[in-house]
């Protein structure tokens, strides 16, 4: 039997998903897209899942689209707009919309859509030796899977243009200094730190964190007034969660809160 294209490791309160095509630096085939979509849907459907760790098998995180599938067939080129709409766009939208934090642990390379994939996660940790490469320009493409949206917002116009037009590798420490990622960590500590973050999220007020994700995503499009109105709506929801009540009680009683992560009392 062939190896699964995405390995799913169920831990107490979170899951580790590992892209598993190491011989191709975990480049995306359609089957790997389908496997990842299924793994994300399963995690979302599991009430006990309160965080996700996304990583890659072997010596890299993900090299983007598998270019073997982008050779002309019967003299015709594949239509890339279709594959973006069918696979990459739903993938990054799903990662942003998941109702719990998603941590990317990046080692080796995150190239092309592999970089966009990492940047669609909520928290990106990278091994100090890892590199982010906007490889698209090297093959005549544009950054996709959200790349042109997130790059200028994360690092500003000048750096986004340099990264996208030159397609040079950006080392993890520089990526951290530029605000592209959360943190560069020593190579040998990458998984330990990523797992520790996920573990911490398993006892967090998950419903509230999901609302934070929604608010921050919306802030990328809203004007100030619309964002204030959204904050009022989402804070109303947050204020009705059992975790808010518990957080306040625990503060008054000078003890650590015990959060269920749920929206409502069950
Ligand atoms: O639907 C659509 O097509 C639109 C969406 C597009 C999204 C995209 O992601 S477009 C960009 C696609 N990705 C790339 O252009 C990156 C191509 N890869 C590289 O430039 C280099 O491999 C890396 C800089 C990422 C890493 O270099 P290095 O020297 O560490 O490794 P390597 O030797 O190049 O790669 C190792 C193996 O993985 C090698 O196979 P081999 O020779 O050992 O059999 C290589 O061919 C394979 N590999 C790496 N990236 C890809 C790949 N195979 C297929 N597709 C890849 N993207």
* Tokens linked to 253: 């009683």
Long-range CB contact pairs, 147-153, < 8 A, 24+: 147/113, 147/115, 147/116, 147/119, 149/220, 150/116, 150/119, 150/120, 151/119, 151/180, 153/220
CB of 144 sitting under 6 A from ligand 1: yes
The pLDDT score that the predictor gives to residue 265 is 78
If pLDDT is split at 50, 70 and 90, which confidence band does 2 have?
confident
Task: Identify the residue whose C-alpha is closest to ligand 1 atom 53.
Answer: 24
- Which of 24, 30, 63 has most ligand 1 atoms within 8 Å of its beta carbon, as the pocket-test mutant? 63
- Asked if residue 256 has pLDDT above 90, the reply is yes
Percentage of the residues of the chain whose pLDDT score is greater than 70:
100
What's the DSSP call for residue 182?
A: S
The pLDDT score that the predictor gives to residue 231 is 98
Q: Cα(63) to centroid of ligand 1, in Å?
A: 5
Task: Identify the residue whose C-alpha is closest to ligand 1 atom 31.
Answer: 25
Helix then strand then coil, % of the chain, to nearest 5: 50, 15, 35
The pLDDT score that the predictor gives to residue 225 is 98
User: Count H helices, E strands: the chain?
Assistant: 11, 9
Tell me which residue has tokens 């809160």: 257
Task: Identify the residue whose C-alpha is closest to ligand 1 atom 47.
Answer: 24
Asked if 87 and 28 touch (Cβ cutoff 8 Å), the reply is: yes
The pLDDT score that the predictor gives to residue 121 is 98
Cα angle at 41 between 37 and 42, to 5 degrees?
Answer: 115
If pLDDT is split at 50, 70 and 90, which confidence band does 61 have?
very high
Q: How far apart, in whole angstroms, are the C-alpha atoms of residue 55 and residue 20?
A: 9
CB of 26 sitting under 6 A from ligand 1: no
Q: How far apart, in whole angstroms, are the C-alpha atoms of residue 115 and residue 255?
A: 41
Task: Identify the residue whose C-alpha is closest to ligand 1 atom 27.
Answer: 109
Strand partners, 110: 62, 132
If pLDDT is split at 50, 70 and 90, which confidence band does 264 have?
confident
- Can you tell me the mean pLDDT for 257-266? 90
* Ordered strands of the 131-133 beta sheet: 109-111, 131-133, 170-171
- Asked if residue 266 has pLDDT above 90, the reply is no
Q: How far is CA 158 from the centre of its chain?
A: 24
Asked if 173 and 131 touch (Cβ cutoff 8 Å), the reply is: no
- Can you tell me the mean pLDDT for 59-85? 95
Q: Which DSSP helix (H) or strand (E) runs through 201? A: helix 190-201
Averaged pLDDT score across all residues of the chain: 97
If pLDDT is split at 50, 70 and 90, which confidence band does 48 have?
very high
Strand partners, 16: 9, 53
Task: Identify the residue whose C-alpha is closest to ligand 1 atom 52.
Answer: 24
pLDDT in tens, 104-123: 999 999 999 999 999 999 99
Question: Assign residue 132 a region: left if phi > 0, alpha if psi is -120 to 50, beta otherwise?
Answer: beta
Closest CA to 134 of 126, 125, 146, 123: 146
pLDDT in tens, 139-153: 999 999 999 999 999
The pLDDT score that the predictor gives to residue 147 is 98
CB of 11 sitting under 6 A from ligand 1: no
What's the DSSP call for residue 240?
A: T
Task: Provide φ and ψ at 183, rounded to 5°.
Answer: -160, 140
Whole-angstrom Cα Rg for the chain: 19
pLDDT in tens, 190-249: 999 999 999 999 999 999 999 999 999 999 999 999 999 999 999 999 999 999 999 999
pLDDT in tens, 154-198: 999 999 999 999 999 999 999 999 999 999 999 999 999 999 999
């Amino acid at each position: 039997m062939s190896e699964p294209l995405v390995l799913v490791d169920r831990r107490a309160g979170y899951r580790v998903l590992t892209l598993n095509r190491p011989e191709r630096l975990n480049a995306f085939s359609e089957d790997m897209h389908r496997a990842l979509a299924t793994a994300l849907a399963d995690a979302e459907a599991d009430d006990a899942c309160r965080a996700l760790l996304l990583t890659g098998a072997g010596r890299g995180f993900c090299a983007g689209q598998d270019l073997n599938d982008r050779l002309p067939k019967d003299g015709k080129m594949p239509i890339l707009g279709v594959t973006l709409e069918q696979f990459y766009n739903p993938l990054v939208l799903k990662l942003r919309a998941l109702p719990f934090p998603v941590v990317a642990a990046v080692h080796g390379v995150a190239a092309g859509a592999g970089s966009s994939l990492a940047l669609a996660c909520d928290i990106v940790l990278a091994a100090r030796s890892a590199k982010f490469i906007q490889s698209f320009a090297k093959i005549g493409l544009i950054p996709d899977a959200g790349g042109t949206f997130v790059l200028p917002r994360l690092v500003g116009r000048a750096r986004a243009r340099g990264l996208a037009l030159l397609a040079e590798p950006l080392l993890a420490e520089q990526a951290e200094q530029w605000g592209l990622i959360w943190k560069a960590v020593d190579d040998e500590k990458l998984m330990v730190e990523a797992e520790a973050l996920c573990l911490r999220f398993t006892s967090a007020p998950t419903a509230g964190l999901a609302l934070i994700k929604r608010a921050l995503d919306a802030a990328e499009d809203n004007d100030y007034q619309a964002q204030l109105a959204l904050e009022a709506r989402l804070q109303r929801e947050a204020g009705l969660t059992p975790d808010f009540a518990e957080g306040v009680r625990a503060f008054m009683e000078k003890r650590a809160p015990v959060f269920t992560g749920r929206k409502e009392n069950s």
